[in-house]
Amino acid sequence: MEIRSMFFKANAAAALANPVLQGNLRTSKGKFVDKRRAAIADFDREGGDFEALRDAGRDLRNRVLADLDLWLEKFEQSASAHGATVLWAKDGAEICRHVIDIGRRHGVTKAVKSKSMLSEEAGLNQALEAAGIQPVETDLGEYILQINDNEPPSHIIAPVVHKSLDEVADLFAKTHGTPRKTEIPELTREARGVLRSHFLTAEMGISGGNFLVAETGSVALVTNEGNGRMVTTLPRVHVVITGIEKVIPTLEDLALLLRLLPRSATGQHISNYVSLLTGVKRPDEHDGPEHLYFILVDNGRAELVASEFQDMLRCIRCGACMNHCPVYQTIGGHAYGWVYPGPMGSVLTPLYQGLDHAIDLPHAATLCNQCGVVCPVKIPLPELLRTLREKQVEQKLRPLTERLALKAWAWVAGRPWLYALGARLGVRYLNWLAGGSKTIGVLGIAPAWTDGRDFPAPQGRTFRELYAAGKR
């Protein structure tokens, strides 16, 4: 997928000025938030302790990362023992080469795909088309995006959350040449009818993997649509593309994470389909692939192990951080310019693509810590964003004026008497600017702050003044 994160400010401005998008975002806003809250309340009411569960999930992921090489080796041994082939890919280009080589080896002309963010990282669909292999997205959301000129997803679990029902209805009528339908069951039925022939004729299925179980050599897939099962059991070749950080030791560990993931992602107690796939089809089995390949992907992940950003590798791709982020809720996912939007994307994109390719993303958050509060494996996202901001300043990637302003502030802050004087004068100035109102409509020294919002006027005196008065 082409990276456009360097245009975040322009993308965000365009999103704010798009009335259709803003209407769609308002419609979807808070749905996942409310469902998550209800699911967690039910869990606790039934005798569970979701905070303790989050602690356990965090500790499990940390234990795996501490011995990641050993668990990956164990997984490779177990998967190979069940007839699978394990391949390794250092980047997106190598992912594409592996998949195309597999396709050519088995005479593949069509591949059906279940939703995979890693294939988005690699630009796999474009590579397959160039190699003469037709990729067909079968997740309903991803299918809608594919027939809409290969539009990128705007969310990792709800890729078309930015579109309205009317937009989808128009797209289906145009693409399928059928009468326009406006009811969701009708549209779903129409999509199933179109995709059914692809499921039956595709020689290869491509999926991601939510988790890899080292003790059994299995891949766990968590979906809410039956397409995942169709992709992984009907074609004679199944290719799993997943990051190296997805490995976990045991099935017991999987049970723990399955209690965290659906509740955090969609507010469900359990997803509609949880598939545990192990090895190739056996002689006495009626379905399943004749050939199974695992492509375990680095693409920047190995560099994070044992680094100050290792916590990010705990991510289980639930999307809770973006669901609760006020910035994401306001501008949608496309503004972030790459595969991963929201707070997780604001950390991952600079790490995977380079700080210089995502100069504004570490600043695309209010640091309100809502993302950290809801993360099921307790990733300290605001702290990671702050660290990225520090690195940008150290590497002189931020504008000179900004860096000089920060140095000036630090100099003043290091001199308490001067800081106190500046604060006292600043409060008086802002009160004068407010003109007796509680808000400031135009802030002359920082006009961008008040282009779309009012700036709150300080009330009365500074904290130092109030504290000193209280001691008397």
What rounded mean pLDDT belongs to the chain? 94
Provide, rounded to the nearest whole percent, the portion of the chain with pLDDT above 90: 85
Per-residue pLDDT tens over the stretch 390-399 = 999 999 998 8
pLDDT at 452 > cutoff 80: no
**One-letter amino acid for residue 416 of the chain:** P
The CA–CA distances, whole Å, from 362 to 325, 344, 387, 388, 391 equal 14, 10, 9, 6, 10
- Reading the block at residue 364, the tokens are 């695309």
pLDDT of 149 reads 95
pLDDT of 254 reads 98
Residues 6+ apart with CB under 8 A from 417: none
pLDDT at 182 > cutoff 80: yes
The CA radius of gyration of the chain, in Å to the nearest whole number, is 25
pLDDT at 154 > cutoff 70: yes
The pLDDT-based confidence of 472 (bands split at 50, 70, 90) is low
Q: Stretch 83-105: mean pLDDT, rounded?
A: 98
pLDDT of 77 reads 98
pLDDT at 88 > cutoff 80: yes
What's the pTM? 0.92
Per-residue pLDDT tens over the stretch 188-241 = 999 999 999 999 999 999 999 999 999 999 999 999 999 999 999 999 999 999
Report how far residue 291's alpha carbon sits from residue 199's, in angstroms, rounded to the nearest whole number. 17
Burial 304-336 (b: 16+ CB within 10 A, else e): beeeebbbbbbbbbbbbbbbbbebbbbbbbbbb
User: Sign of torsion, CA 374 378 381 382?
Assistant: positive
Q: Are 293 and 239 in contact (CB under 8 A)?
A: yes
**Residues for the chain: how many in total?**
472
Q: Stretch 4-30: mean pLDDT, rounded?
A: 94
pLDDT at 378 > cutoff 90: yes
Provide, rounded to the nearest whole percent, the portion of the chain with pLDDT above 70: 100
pLDDT of 176 reads 96
All domains of the chain in start order, with CATH: 5-9+54-302 (3.40.50.10420), 401-471 (no CATH)
Residues 6+ apart with CB under 8 A from 387: 308, 309
Per-residue pLDDT tens over the stretch 226-277 = 999 999 999 999 999 999 999 999 999 999 999 999 999 999 999 989 999 9
- Reading the block at residue 443, the tokens are 């802030």
